Chains A and B, each alone.
Chain A
Amino acid sequence: MDQEFMAQVETKVVAPTESPERGAAAMQLKGVAVSFHGRVAVRDCTFDVTKNRVTSLIGPSGSGKTTLLRALNRLHDLTPGAKVAGQILLEGTDIYRGDITVTELRTRVGMVFQRPNPFPTMSIYENAVSGLRFNGVKKKSILDEAAETSLKSAALWDSVQSRLKVAASNLSGGEQQRLCIARALAMDPEVLLMDEPTSALDPIATLKIEELMTELKKRVTVIIVTHNMQQAARISDDCAFLLMGEDRAGELIEFDTTEKIFNNPIDPRTLDYTLGRFG
Chain B
Amino acid sequence: MSDMTELVEPVETGHQMRDEIRSISERSRARRQVRSRIMVVLCALALLVTAVPLVLLLFQLFNRGLPVVLHIGFYTQLPQTPSLIAPNATGGVSNAILGTLVLTLYASVMAIPVGVLVGVYLAESDSKLAATLRVISQTMAGAPSILMGLFAFSFIVRDLHVGFSAIAGSFALAVLMLPVIVISSEIAVRGVPHTLREAGLALGAKPHKVSMKIVLPAAVTGIVTGIILAISRAIGETAPVLLVIGGGYINSWKPLDPVSALPLSIYENAKSEWPSLRTEVWGIALVLVVFVFVLSLSARIWASRKQQAR
Query: A113-B195, A120-B310 given as contacts; is B218 within 8 A of A184 (CB)?
Result: no
Residue B71, interface by CB 8 Å: no
Q: With a CB–CB cut-off of 8 A, which chain A residues contact B310?
A: 120, 167, 169
Chain B residue with the shortest CB-CB distance to A104 = B204
Number of A-B contacts (CB under 8 A): 73
Report whether B202 and A103 are in contact in the complex, using a CB–CB cutoff of 8 Å.
Answer: no
Query: In residues 205-220 of chain B, which contact A (Cβ within 8 Å)?
Result: 205-207, 209-210, 213-214, 217-218, 220
B contact residues, range: 20 to 34
A278 contacts the other chain (Cβ, under 8 Å)?
no
B200 close to chain A: CB less than 8 A? yes
Q: Judge whether A121 is part of the interface by a CB distance below 8 angstroms.
A: yes
Docked Cα-Cα span, A73 to B198, in Å, equals: 11
Chain A contact-residue range equals 20 to 34
B202 close to A111 (CB less than 8 A): yes
Tell me the dominant secondary structure on chain B's binding face.
helix
* B153 nearest CB across to chain A (Å): 42
Residues of B with C-beta under 8 A to A80: 126
| Docked-complex contact B218 and A117, CB < 8 angstroms | no
Contact among A78, A115, A183 for B203, CB-based, below 8 A: A183
Assess whether B220 is in contact with A106, with CB atoms less than 8 Å apart: no
Q: Is the CB–CB distance between A119 and B218 below 8 Å?
A: yes
List chain A residues, Cβ under 8 A from B206.
103, 134
Q: Compute how far the CA of A54 lies from the CA of B199 in the bound complex, rounded to whole angstroms.
A: 22
| CB closest residue in chain B, given A77 | B201
Q: Which residues of chain A from 128 to 152 have any CB-CB distance to chain B below 8 Å in the complex? A: 130-131, 133-135
Give the distance in Å from the alpha carbon of A134 to the alpha carbon of B198 in the complex. 13
Residues of B within 8 A of A (CB): 126, 193, 195-196, 198-207, 209-210, 213-214, 217-218, 220, 309-310
**Interfacial residues, chain A to chain B (CB-CB below 8 A):** 73, 75, 78, 80, 103-107, 110-111, 113, 115, 117, 119-122, 130-131, 133-135, 167, 169, 180, 183-184, 187
